[in-house]
Amino acid sequence: GDSVTQTEGLVTLTEGLPVMLNCTYQTIYSNPFLFWYVQHLNESPRLLLKSFTDNKRTEHQGFHATLHKSSSSFHLQKSSAQLSDSALYYCALSDQQVVGQLTFGRGTRLQVYA
């Protein structure tokens, strides 16, 4: 079945430094849809980014990610971390076989310090 790997469980950063959260995936289907969800403390997850197009950068709220099918990756980046970015970030995959069926990674907690 599908799988999503987020290698870092916790990333700690000083405010102002760049952010990079890793996400790789495995699926036998050739047209996956990749998502990044963010979950702040005591809140529900909400969509941050999504992409379907190979090698095209997608951006939202200062974050960006590029789907690279050649390396099965969809890393999340931001040029300068803010304290308010502290949250749990989930990478998720849809292989488009079942509507709305998402496979989530284990999540990466980003902690930004002043």
Partner 1 sequence: AQTIHQWPVAEIKAVGSPLSLGCTIKGKSSPNLYWYWQATGGTLQQLFYSITVGQVESVVQLNLSASRPKDDQFILSTEKLLLSHSGFYLCAWSRDNANTEVFFGKGTRLTVV
Q: Which residues bind partner 1 (CB under 8 A)?
A: 33, 35, 43-47, 50, 52, 90, 92, 94, 96, 98-102, 104-107
Q: Which amino acid is at 78?
A: K
Cβ at position 54, least distance to partner 1 in Å: 15
Listed in sequence order, the residues at least 6 apart from 91 whose beta carbon sits closer than 8 Å to its beta carbon are 4, 6, 21, 23, 25, 34, 35, 36, 74, 76, 104, 105
Q: State which residue, 9 or 14, has the beta carbon closest to partner 1.
A: 9
Our CA dihedral for 42, 21, 8, 32, rounded to 10 degrees, sits at: 90
Q: State which residue, 63 or 90, has the beta carbon closest to partner 1.
A: 90
Q: β-strands 3-5, 24-26: how paired?
A: antiparallel
Cβ at position 104, least distance to partner 1 in Å: 4
Q: State which residue, 46 or 57, has the beta carbon closest to partner 1.
A: 46
Cβ at position 28, least distance to partner 1 in Å: 17
Cβ at position 4, least distance to partner 1 in Å: 9
